[in-house]
């Protein structure tokens, strides 16, 4: 066990990669050396990190020599292609893609919820889907005490989940529409400015899209509840980088009171309760943006079901939904001597 | 019973008032004369209707002489103040505000669902809340055949629901943010550009806001189901004028198959099924805008509950959610000889 680490970021120039750099710097992550890896297109690009200028290198199978921790956020196909090489070179891979999440050999971890799962890995630890993480930050503390039986969730997802280009498309389309111009979607499949649409991922035979399917199956794995009933409707909205979710939880044992739920949520690390009924102040994407905590509010007893409760959450998709959670996995493993 | 009607619009210069004019003109509503009424501020304003120029008059208690049908959309307090005078003058009032909706003496009507309720009125017929109408256009045809037991709904509501000024605020704030300027909310309580927030209405002792409470109680009244279990989470999103809703319906008798549900929805007047899984084409606000039908899609069996089904709808808030529904009430009453 070393106390300073040779770190690599695969996909360093993307929306999540950029946040990796910011989080590592802000957290003063114990970095002995930092290798920035990206596709050929970004090779040679210079990026400042902690007062130094780093040169982006090309992501290849040979790029991981000497690396101890490799953060991957370059898409599922690149993770499948290059993560095994990183593991072979001796690195622990923390992978933000969907490539290995449902692999029974790969721990899928939200540190506040199931860090113990990270102890037994075979080189790869998976970072869950952003919507899954943000939902579970509110569901897990309640589930832990009162046992959730069923969750009905509808999402309000930011453009950032589709990458930096989708964020730029939202800005460009919005400007064009304000000027009265026609817009042609390029990155996202439909107009995103002043519009919303069902999540841009393939729909399966059950009528669920991939994002919804991830929320269902990843949540069960993280909570160790293979039988937890979940339905999800995932929607892309014209927001830049924080996801929101409307969550209905039905409990198996008993429904907590609003005060009990607020207390359990307040005590949970990484959650900030924003639930001011008088001032009509609840979680909002602009307040969740650039913030590490997931905001939780609208905590109320569901009048339609004596065992259910409603919540509303907002969390930064690029931070807790991606880069921050991955860095926290590494930090928690270091603190436990597992890295 | 006359075949041409003396009509008044109270609140003729607002967002809904403007749509009243467009719908009456497009539908060739049998108008003998049209009186446009508004607050002092708009008095004297000239508005074109069916090739003629009409002058806006001031909304007063004496403004309804000779009027047979009065469409009200000037806010609940003005409806309370002036609707009784209109009734006294002999008009039938179709009121778009919340003033009389839950009054047991006042029919609350979505024509496709419960037009028979309009037969027995005492001068006032209420137009339901926009989110309620748009939800029920999808729920009612399924409820009619398979009996809904519980509904969990989350909304994605456009700025138009807060009036023309809120729509302008969305545009102005968006332009300001694109120019890197700070914004100060004026009409809506929070920034609406690139943001979303819990609906801007007061929160009651149960933690529900007024909009959610309306969806619950108005739906029960319209469907004649005082025991129907409903929970709602109402959210304002940066969209101009079409509301969307994610709806989970639990059935009491049996869950229809996707095909049965699609069929029942397709046959329901005022509904257009938009449910193309292969092309990922589902209801979107930009396609619901300026359209009379409510779009329904994402029709699927809920994997979390063998009796439940998920849906997603978009409908024009100013049309079916307000002006169109009110005009349709009058048209249906005329067709039945009740007016």
CA of B118 vs chain A CAs: smallest distance (Å): 28
Q: In chain B, which residues have their Cβ closer than 8 Å to the Cβ of A195?
A: 239, 284-286
Whether B243 is catalytic is yes
The secondary structure of A238-261 as a DSSP string is: S-SSEEEEEEEEEESS-PPPHHHH
Per-chain mean pLDDT for chain B? 97
Residue of A216, A238, A285 with shortest CB distance to B303: A216
Per-residue pLDDT band at B63 (split at 50, 70, 90): very high
- Rounded CA separation A270/A139 (Å): 13
**Burial label, B323 (beta-carbon count in 10 A; 0-12, 13-18, 19+):** buried
From CA B265, how far away is CA B89, in angstroms rounded? 41
Residues of B in Cβ contact (< 8 Å) with A156:
156, 196, 235, 237
β-bridge partners, B270: none
Q: Is B234 among the residues known to form the active site?
A: no
pTM value > 0.95 = yes
B307 touches chain A (CB under 8 A): no
Confidence of residue B1 (pLDDT cuts 50, 70, 90): very low
Q: Residue B206 contacts by C-beta under 8 Å, 6 or more apart in sequence? A: A300, A301, A303
Q: How far is CA B156 from CA A80, A283, B285, in A?
A: 37, 15, 10
Helices (H) and strands (E) in chain B, counts: 9, 16
Percent of chain B that is helix, strand, coil (3-state, to 5): 35, 25, 40
- Ranges under pLDDT 70 in chain A: 1-2
Is the Cβ–Cβ distance between A219 and B298 less than 8 Å?
Answer: no
Query: Which pLDDT value is given to residue A206?
Result: 98
> What is the DSSP secondary-structure string of A79-93?
HHHHHHHHHHTTPEE
The CA radius of gyration of chain B, in Å to the nearest whole number, is 20
Q: Do A244 and B233 touch (CB under 8 A)?
A: no
- Cα A93 to Cα A77: distance, rounded to the nearest angstrom: 15
- Cβ under 8 Å to B: A residues 266-285: 277-278, 280, 282, 284-285
- Burial (0-12, 13-18, 19+ Cβ within 10 Å), A105: exposed
Task: Tell me the average pLDDT across B36-50.
Answer: 96
CB-CB under 8 Å, A190 with B284:
yes
Dump the DSSP string for B83-109: HHHHHHTTPEEEE-SSSSTT-TTS-B-
Within an 8 Å CB–CB cutoff, is residue A299 touching chain B?
yes
Catalytic-labelled residue, pool A6, A121, A130, A234: A130
- Spatial CA neighbour of A129 closest among A327, A331, A333, A320: A320
Averaged over B19-34, what is the pLDDT? 98
Question: Are A76 and A97 contacting, i.e. CB atoms less than 8 angstroms apart?
Answer: yes
Give the integer Cα–Cα distance in Å for A60 and A40: 10
For A97, phi then psi, to 5°, come to: -85, 175
Going across the sheet that includes A69-72, the strands are: A57-58, A31-38, A5-10, A69-72, A92-95, A124-126
Long-range CB pairs of A55-60 (<8 Å, 24+ gap) are: A56/A12, A56/A13, A59/A10, A59/A11
What one-character DSSP code corresponds to residue A160?
G
Bridge partners (DSSP) of residue A300 are: A310
> Which residues, at least 6 apart from B14, have a Cβ–Cβ distance to it below 8 Å?
B38, B73, B74, B163, B164
For chain B positions 147-176, those within 8 Å of chain A (CB to CB) are: 150-152, 154, 156, 170-171, 174-175
**Cβ within 8 Å, pair B298-A198:** yes
CA distance A223 to A220: 5
Q: What is the pLDDT of residue B326?
A: 98
| pLDDT value, residue A1 | 46
State the nearest Cα–Cα gap between B287 and chain A, in angstroms.
Answer: 9
Cβ contacts (< 8 Å) between B297 and chain A: which residues? 198
CA distance A304 to B151: 8
Asked whether the ipTM of the predicted complex exceeds the cut of 0.90, the reply is: yes
pLDDT for A3 equals: 86
How many Cβ atoms from other residues are within 10 Å of residue B21's Cβ? 21
Please report the domains of chain B, with CATH numbers, ordered by start residue: 5-128+322-335 (3.40.50.720), 132-317 (3.30.360.10)
- Contact at 8 Å (CB) between A223 and A140? yes
A281, A250 in Cβ contact below 8 A? no
**A235 secondary structure, DSSP code:** E
Give contacts of B152 with chain A, Cβ < 8 Å: 152, 248, 304
């Amino acid at each position: 066990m070393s106390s300073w680490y040779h770190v690599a970021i695969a996909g360093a120039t993307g929306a999540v990669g950029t946040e990796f750099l910011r989080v590592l710097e802000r957290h003063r992550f114990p970095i002995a050396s930092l290798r920035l890896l990206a596709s050929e297109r970004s090779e040679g690009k210079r990026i400042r990190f902690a007062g130094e200028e780093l040169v982006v290198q090309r992501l290849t199978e040979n790029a991981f020599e000497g690396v101890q921790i490799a953060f991957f956020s370059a898409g599922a196909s690149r993770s499948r292609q290059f993560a095994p090489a990183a593991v072979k070179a001796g690195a622990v891979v923390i992978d933000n893609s969907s490539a290995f999440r449902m692999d029974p050999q790969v721990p899928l971890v939200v540190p506040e919820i199931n860090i113990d799962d990270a102890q037994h890995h075979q080189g790869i630890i998976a970072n869950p889907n952003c919507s899954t993480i943000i939902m579970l930050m509110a569901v897990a503390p309640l589930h832990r005490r009162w046992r959730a039986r069923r969750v009905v969730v509808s999402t309000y997802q930011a453009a950032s989940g589709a990458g930096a280009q989708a964020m730029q498309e939202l800005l460009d389309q919005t400007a064009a529409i304000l000027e009265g111009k026609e817009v042609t979607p390029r990155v996202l499949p439909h107009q995103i400015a002043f519009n919303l649409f069902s999540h841009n991922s393939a729909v399966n035979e059950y009528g669920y899209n991939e994002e919804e399917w991830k929320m269902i199956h990843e949540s069960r794995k993280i909570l160790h509840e293979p039988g937890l009933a979940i339905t999800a409707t995932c929607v892309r909205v014209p927001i830049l980088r924080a996801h929101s979710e409307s969550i209905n939880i039905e409990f198996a044992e008993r429904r907590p009171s609003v005060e009990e739920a607020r207390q359990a949520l307040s005590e949970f690390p990484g959650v900030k309760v924003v639930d001011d009924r008088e001032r009509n102040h609840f979680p909002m994407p602009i307040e969740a943006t650039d913030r590490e905590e997931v905001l939780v509010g609208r905590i109320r007893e569901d009048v339609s079901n004596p065992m259910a409760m409603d919540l509303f959450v907002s969390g930064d998709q690029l931070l807790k939904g991606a880069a921050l959670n991955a860095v926290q996995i590494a930090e928690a493993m270091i603190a436990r001597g597992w890295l």
